[in-house]
Amino acid sequence: MKAKNMVKLSFYSRSVNEGFARGALAAFLAQADPTVPELTDVKTAVSEAVTNCIVHAYPQGVGLVHLSVALYDEGLVRITVADKGVGIPDVEKAMQPMFTTGNPEERAGLGFAVMQSFMDKVRVTSAPGKGTRVVMSKRLASRG
């Protein structure tokens, strides 16, 4: 399936860039004329994925976060958030609600659960020392 339009961005894993990622996503998705709830859902899922990169991928410093967004026919949007950080040793365990490798006083461990609740499909692949890739998709309601 060939995308109708797409964008790729890379930015440092700094907390200030989480807002940038949401804003850039919203600007790009405007062409698909999503509803406000759809846009909010997608922005929330991307926010969680980018925050995971910022908090977990590069614990010893700053690295790159890669965001790509593609629009397909019939309102399908596919979003990829990837890093080349420390990776996740057990993706299945990491995707369980309340699981966190961060400080439990500061982190709820709900990032993947939030992504899954707002998107139609979420796929996570990771390898220790090689990074993590989150691919999310959602079909936006037809407005035409």
Using one digit for the tens of pLDDT, what is the confidence trace for 20-72?
999 999 999 999 999 999 999 999 999 989 988 898 899 889 999 999 999 99
Average confidence score pLDDT of the chain:
87
Residue 17 falls in the annotated catalytic set:
no
Among residues 17, 18, 38, 48, which one is catalytic? 48
Whole-model pTM: value is 0.86
Contact of 124 with 68, CB cutoff 8 Å = no
Looking at residue 75, the DSSP 8-state letter turns out to be G
3-state secondary structure of 37: helix
pLDDT the model gives residue 107: 52
Among residues 22, 107, 133, 139, which one is catalytic? 107
Residue 48 falls in the annotated catalytic set:
yes
pLDDT the model gives residue 110: 57
